[in-house]
């Protein structure tokens, strides 16, 4: 699930467990990339710690039955 979150304060995603969080607001990239957001996104994919994302995925799958799902 891809989810857009506003203001980054107190937002909990739909009862899900975040595997990867990516801040694409202007403050995250403007000083280095100016208005080249595409270059920033491409660079972000090269520095993601995929082993950590994988560990988070495995842990979330193991706890899948513990999640509260809305009817």
- Name the residue ranges covered by the structural domains of the chain: 17-59
The DSSP secondary-structure symbol of 66 reads G
Token readout for 30 is 């403007």
Residue 44 CA to residue 25 CA, distance in Å, equals 13
Between 38 and 66, the higher pLDDT residue:
38
Query: What's the average model confidence in pLDDT over 46-56?
Result: 92
Token readout for 71 is 């009817």
CATH class of 17-59: alpha beta
- pTM score over 0.85: no
The DSSP secondary-structure symbol of 34 reads T
């Amino acid at each position: 699930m891809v989810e857009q979150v506003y203001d980054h304060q107190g937002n909990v995603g739909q009862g899900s467990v975040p595997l990867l969080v990516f801040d694409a607001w202007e403050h995250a990239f403007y000083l280095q990339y100016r208005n080249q957001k595409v270059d920033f996104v491409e660079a972000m994919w090269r520095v993601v710690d995929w082993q950590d994302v994988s560990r988070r995925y495995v842990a979330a799958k193991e706890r899948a039955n513990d999640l509260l799902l809305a009817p």
